[in-house]
Amino acid sequence: MMLEMLDMVRKLPPETTLGAFVAGLDRMVAHAECRYCKEPISRLSVAEDQPWFHDDPSRMRGCHAASYRPGKGWNDSLPKKWSATPA
Ligand SMILES: [Zn+2]
pTM for the structure as a whole:
0.75
Residue 2 has pLDDT above 80, yes or no: no
Torsion of CA 43, 49, 51, 52, to 10 degrees: 40
Cα(30) to centroid(ligand 1), Å: 15
- Detail the DSSP E strand segments found in the chain: 29-33, 40-44, 53-54
Task: Report which residue type is found at 62.
Answer: G
Q: Would you place residue 1 in the very low, low, confident or very high pLDDT band (cuts 50, 70, 90)? A: low
Using alpha carbons only, give the angle 75, 68, 32 rounded to the nearest 5 degrees.
Answer: 85
Which of residues 43 and 49 earns the better pLDDT score?
Answer: 43
Between CA 40 and CA 24, with CA 62 as vertex, the angle to 5 degrees is 45
Q: Residues lining ligand 1 (ion), CB within 5 A?
A: 34, 36-37, 63
Q: Domain spans of the chain?
A: 29-87
CA 52 / ligand 1 centre spacing (Å):
9
